[in-house]
Amino acid sequence: MTQPWPTPSVTEPVRATVPVPGSKSITNRALLLAALADGPSTVHLPLRSRDTQLMAAALRSLGVRIADGNQGSWEVTPGPLRGDADLDCGLAGTVMRFMPPAAALADGDVRFDGDEQARVRPMNTVLDALRSLGASIDGDSLPFTLHGTGSVRGGSVTIDASGSSQFVSALLLSGARYEQGVTVLHDGKPVPSLPHIEMTIEMLRAVGVEVDDSEPNRWRVAPGAIAARDWRIEPDLSNAAAFLAAGAVTGGAITIPDWPLATTQPGDAMRDILAQMGCDVSLSDNGLTVKGPERLNGIEIDLHDFSELTPTVAAMAVLADSPTHISGVAHIRGHETDRLAALTTEIRGIGGDADETDDGLIIRPSQPTGGLWHAYADHRMATAGAIIGLKVPGVSVDDINTTTKTIPDFPGMWAAMLQLAERV
C-alpha cells in the first residue's frame, strides 16, 4: 500500500530555476507519427514517463522498432503493423484514444485494456467512428478487441467531440494512412481544449500531411504518405505550471528554461492566468520567469480551452485573497477522475471553501487546516495537493506516485526546487 507523502511547507518565498521534462502530448503524437512514417525518425528530448512508455510499448507490440538513441532520444523505425497483440493503455488518454485508429491498420486482432479507472473513461466516440470508417471492433469501452485487416477504408464521419478534443486528434493522426483519408465533422457542444487539435494539425503538416481546417468543426486529412523527420520535444508547459505556482503562492520567483516563444501547448495559458492573479510574468530567450505577489488575487476565468490547468488554478485559488470562479470545464468530469467533484471534496477536506457548479468551481478565501489530500490516481490532483501544502502545514498526498504518469520523479524535482530556494 502506498504511504501518504507529507507535502513540504515553507515560510520563505520559493526562488529557483526548474528545468522541466518534455511534453507528454507532443511526445506521444511524435511517436505515433514516426511509427506511421515512410522511414526512420528520431524523437529528441522526449518525455519518459508512464504515459509515453505505454505509447512506446503499444507501438512496439504492433511491430514498430523503438530503440534508445543518444542523449535520451528514441530512434523509431516503422514497419508493417501486425496484430495478435495485447496493448496496455494504463490510464493514458492519448494511448487509449490515439492507438485504436492506428491499430486498425494492423493485420490481425489487437486487444486493448488498461487500469481499472480507464475502463470508465469514454471510448465509444472513437470506436463508433472507426466502425463507420470500416473497422471491426468488439466492445465500446476498455477492454475491447479490434479486428485489423491491414487497411482502413476511411472517409467522412460525424462525431460529438464535446467530451474531449482527443476524439478528433485520434482520427486525424492516422487518417492519412486510410485509403480515402478522413474527414471529421463535429456535431455537439463546443469542443474543449482546441489548442490540442491545433497541435495535432501543426505536427501533421510538419510531416507533409495535407490538412484542411478552413471550416469550423470540420477537419479533413487527405490520404498520402507521412514523412519521416527528427522531432525535438518542447518542455511540458502543463507540468511546468505546478512549479510556477510554487513561486506564485509563496511570493517567490520561478524560472522555467526553454519555454517556447510560440507553441500550441495549452499550458502556455499559464502566463496570462498568473498575470491576472497578480504575478509579474516575463518571457525571454532564456525562458519564462514568474514572480509572485505578497498574496494572489482571485479571478473569474473560462478554462474551456485549457482545462488541464484547472487543478493547478484551483490550488492557487485556495491561497488567494478573493474568490475565484472557474467555468467552462464540465468535461473534466470525464478526465482521470471527476476533477470537479474531487477538487471540491479535497479542498473542503482540508478546511477550504469550495463549491461545484454546472461547469466549474467557486473557491473562496479560507483558513485551511491541513489533512489527507486524495489524488484519485490523478497526477494533477496530486500536484495540486503539493502546491497547497507549501503554505498549509499538515497536508499529505495519499498517492504521490500517480505523478509518474507525466513526471518521472515529481517528489525529487519538488525537493530539488525547495533546496535551490534555500540556497538563494
- Ligand-binding annotation for 307, yes or no, is no
Q: Is 93 helix (H, G, I), strand (E, B) or coil?
A: helix
- Ligand-binding annotation for 292, yes or no, is no
Residue that is written with C-alpha cell 528530448 in the block = 45
Q: Is 308 a catalytic residue?
A: yes
Enter the DSSP assignment of 190: P
- Ligand-binding annotation for 108, yes or no, is no
- Ligand-binding annotation for 24, yes or no, is yes
- Ligand-binding annotation for 232, yes or no, is no
Angstrom distance (rounded) from CA 417 to CA 255: 11
Burial 82-103 (b: 16+ CB within 10 A, else e): bbebebbbbbbbbbbbbbbbbb
- Ligand-binding annotation for 165, yes or no, is yes
- Other beta carbons less than 10 A from residue 216's beta carbon: 8
- Ligand-binding annotation for 327, yes or no, is no
- Ligand-binding annotation for 111, yes or no, is no
CB 112 within 8 A of CB 66: no
Residue 16: partners with Cβ closer than 8 Å, 6 or more residues away: 247, 252, 254, 255, 416, 417, 418, 420, 421, 424
Packed helices 166-175 and 93-103: angle between N→C axes, nearest 10 degrees: 30
- Ligand-binding annotation for 339, yes or no, is yes
Q: Which of 12, 202, 294, 308 is catalytic?
A: 308
In this structure, what C-alpha cell is assigned to residue 226?
Answer: 507521412
- Ligand-binding annotation for 25, yes or no, is yes
- Ligand-binding annotation for 335, yes or no, is yes
HSE at residue 297, side-chain half, CA atoms within 13 A, is: 8
In this structure, what C-alpha cell is assigned to residue 333?
Answer: 468530469
Angstrom distance (rounded) from CA 376 to CA 108: 36
- Ligand-binding annotation for 380, yes or no, is yes
Q: Is 330 helix (H, G, I), strand (E, B) or coil?
A: helix
Residue 184: which of 246, 237, 133 has the closest Cα? 133
In this structure, what C-alpha cell is assigned to residue 43?
Answer: 524523437
Tell me the C-alpha to C-alpha distance, in Å, between residue 153 and each of 116, 314, 403, 406. 33, 45, 39, 34
The binding site for 3-phosphoshikimate consists of 24-25, 29, 164-166, 193, 308, 335
List the binding residues: 24-25, 29, 93, 121, 164-166, 193, 308, 335, 339, 380, 405
Which residues belong to the active site?
308
Binding residues for phosphoenolpyruvate: 24, 93, 121, 166, 339, 380, 405
